[in-house]
Amino acid sequence: MPWIEPPNWARLPIAECGEPLIPVPVGPPTGIRIHPLYYEAGMPGATAEVRLRSGVVERLKAAAATLAPHSLALVVFDGYRPLAVQQYLHDTCAADIRREQPHLTDDELIAAVRQFVAAPNSDPACPPPHRTGGAVDVYLVDAATGVELPMGTAADEAVAASATRSFEEAADPDSRRFRDNRRRLFHAMIGAGFTNYYNEWWHFDYGNQRWANVALSAKAVYGIPLDEK
C-alpha cells in the first residue's frame, strides 16, 4: 500500500453497490466497541449510534478477530457522517488553524485543513469519505481494562505527529511503544481489506473513492448511501 496517495481521489468514478448503512454491532461476540466521540462532545448533528456500510462492518469484525488473541479490542469512534457534521468539523478545524497561524493565506489555510478534514462537498460525484459510510475511525483498548493503548497522539488530534508513520524511526522506549501500537492497528485493518489515510493513524477506508485511489482500483463502490437519513 502506498504511503502517499495518488493525487485527487475524487476523480475516480463511483459504481454505487447499494449496500445498506447498519449500526455497528458491539459486544464480546464481535470484539468491537463504540465511542461516539462527536455525540459526546455535543457536536450538532452527531448521533449516539455509529453506522457503516454492511461490508465495512464485516471487515471490522475480521480485524477485531485478529486482535482478540492479543487481548485487544477495537473501538469505533466515527463512521457514517452526515454532511452537516462534516461542515461543522471543517469550519471548526479552519477556525482553529486560523487562530494558531494567522499569517496563512486563504489557499494555505485550505491546504492545512485538508490534511485532516475533507471538503464538505454536496456533489454526489465526490462525497466526503465519511459520508459514504465507507470511512471508519478507530483506536485500540486493552480488552480486559478498557484502557486505551498509547499511540503518541489522541485519536482525532489534528497535529503532524498523527501521521501514521510518525514514529517509524523511533529510538526511545515510549516512541517505540507508540510505533508498535500503531502497527498492531494498521496491520489488523489492512489485513481485513481497508486502506489507511496516511495523515491519520486512526482513519481507514473501504469501498469509497479514497480507498479506490490508494488500492489502485478503477472505481469506488460506495457513494452517498441510498438509505442516507
In this predicted model, what pLDDT tens digit does every residue of 111-131 receive, in sequence order?
999 999 999 999 999 999 999
pLDDT value at 61 more than 50: yes
Nearest to 133 by CA among 41, 227, 217, 202: 227
Name the band, by pLDDT with cuts 50, 70 and 90, for residue 27: confident
Which of 149, 114, 136, 128 has its CA nearest to residue 85?
Answer: 128
Which pLDDT score is estimated for 3? 59
DSSP assigned state of 27: B
Nine cell digits for residue 64: 477485531
State yes or no: pLDDT of 182 exceeds 60. Answer: yes
Are 130 and 79 contacting, i.e. CB atoms less than 8 angstroms apart?
A: yes
pLDDT at 95 over 60: yes
Bridge partners of 76, per DSSP, are 34, 138
Q: What cell was used for 5?
A: 496517495
Q: What is the pTM of this model?
A: 0.96
> Do 60 and 192 contact (CB within 8 A), yes or no?
yes
> Rounded to an integer, what distance in angstroms lies between the CA atom of residue 23 and that of residue 176?
35
Domain 21-206: CATH class, spelled out: alpha beta
Q: Is residue 23 a contact partner of residue 53, using CB atoms and an 8 Å limit?
A: no
Tell me the pLDDT band of 7, cut-offs 50, 70 and 90. confident
**31 Ramachandran zone, left/alpha/beta (phi>0; psi -120 to 50):** left
| Spatial contact of 213 and 9, defined as CB atoms under 8 Å apart | yes
- pLDDT score recorded for residue 1: 47
Contact 217, 206 (CB under 8 A): no
Q: 108 Cβ partners below 8 Å, 6+ apart?
A: none
Res. 53: pLDDT tops 70 = yes
Distance, first Cα to last Cα, the chain:
33
> Which residues in 156-191 are b (16+ Cβ under 10 Å) and which e?
bebeeebbbebbeeeeeeebebbbebbebbbebbee
Active site residues: 200
Q: What is the DSSP letter of 172?
A: S
